[in-house]
Amino acid sequence: MIGPNLEIFQLVNASANPPALLVAAAQFSANWLIYVLIGGLVIGWVRGGSLARERLIDALATAVLALLVNFAIAASWYHPRPFELGVGHQLLPHAAETSFPSDHATVLFAIAFGLIQAGAARFWSGIALLAAVIVAWARIYVGIHWPLDMAGSLIIALIGAWVIGRFSRRHVWKSARRALVRFADLVVNALRIPTWLYPRS
């Protein structure tokens, strides 16, 4: 796998003299796009109704499960980053820590697939999936991840979405999800946040 992994990396990674605008876009995407998406999820929770909030719970549960798998892999296998091996061009500072899989890409792919399996609107799940693809490209472009890392993230996210999708059909999961949404309403009521800002479920 090192052959195709290296070949694809060299195709995607920045050249020796990359365009400044493309570098800026890649650096922003690699570091900050995940927070933009998380901000969108927060807005979706605040402004959405009970069904939207339940779907967001599924998506977040998918991300948490996928990250747990990531941590287990990282704890048991060290995979050096490209710059540790002197490969490619590094355009973003990063600690020398295990590369496989990418936490950023895993979270974004997991949220996207979690929204899809939960039945969220195609527009929003499509936006999340597009963000995941952009981040996957950007982190290879700036030289801090391998293509293999992104493939691993995608597969782990798919498995996480499948597992949560299976559990989400169970009565205990549905009850827990509704209880979380009701608890959030209780907290909002206690804080006296107006309904025009935070619609109740």
pLDDT of residue 3: 85
User: Rounded distance, CA 162 to CA 99, Å?
Assistant: 24
**Percent of the chain clearing pLDDT 70 (strictly above):** 99
Burial 155-174 (b: 16+ CB within 10 A, else e): ebbbbbbebbbeebeeeebe
The domains of the chain are located at 20-90+105-188
Model confidence pLDDT, tens digit, residues 5-57: 999 999 999 998 999 999 999 999 999 999 999 999 999 999 888 999 999 99
Q: Pick from 165, 131, 133: which is nearest to 59 by CA?
A: 165
